[in-house]
Amino acid sequence: MVEQCCLQTLQQVAGEEYHIRSKVALCVVASSHKKDAQQQLDFVLFSKKTSKATCVIQLQSVIKQDESAVDTALAKAGIRLYRLPRKSSYSISSIRQLLDSYLEKPAATPDEMIATISTKAFRQCKKCKSLMELKRASAGPHTGMLFWVCAEYPECASVELYTE
């Protein structure tokens, strides 16, 4: 029950960017000594982008047990570990607060990147002195690369490779 409740809350906070799995053996996400390999992790967040485990949430157990092996293995694997008190309900805001510093912002889409770059940089066409626009090649051998394209294109065919 407690797990279900916590899982639902986690889904709402992080479900868009992460696959959240519960009851995952330690050895699935981090290398560990044999005796700890089957130790269970309550919740593991797997990034949807990389499918890598990036964060573990453990509910504090009623019975005190030695979990230092988990700490060590996760720290070595570069996976962040959070411990939550075992409660009958979890508020979305408290979980969000806990994970806020951790959750990545979704990666900027190409359009957003162009918008961001464009506000910071502008360039004048060497041929006709018009302003140039930053565009991303969507086909051909340069797909994905950014180019300055003259605003007067196609009248002016001036194109330059964008460099940082």
Q: What is the DSSP letter of 86?
A: -
Query: In angstroms, rounded to a whole number, what is the distance separating the alpha carbons of residues 44 and 26?
Result: 10
The single residue among 2, 37, 77, 156 that binds Zn ion, judged by CB under 5 A, is 156
Residue closer to Zn ion (CB basis): 128 or 145: 128
Q: How far is the CB of 153 from Zn ion (least distance, A)?
A: 7
Residue closer to Zn ion (CB basis): 6 or 132: 132
Beta-sheet strand order (sheet of 159-161)? 132-136, 146-150, 159-161
Q: How far is the CB of 123 from Zn ion (least distance, A)?
A: 10
Residues 98 to 137 in contact with Zn ion, rule: CB under 5 A: 125, 127-128, 130
Residue closer to Zn ion (CB basis): 55 or 125: 125
The token pair at 133 is 């626009």
Residue closer to Zn ion (CB basis): 111 or 155: 155
The single residue among 103, 158, 159, 162 that binds Zn ion, judged by CB under 5 A, is 158
Residue corresponding to tokens 């359009």: 111
Binding mask 133-152 for Zn ion (x = CB under 5 A): -----------------x-x
DSSP three-state, residue 147: strand
Query: In angstroms, rounded to a whole number, what is the distance separating the alpha carbons of residues 62 and 15?
Result: 27
Q: What sections of the chain are H helices per DSSP?
A: 2-14, 26-29, 68-77, 92-100, 110-120
Residues at the contact surface with Zn ion, assessed by CB under 5 A: 125, 127-128, 130, 150, 152, 156, 158
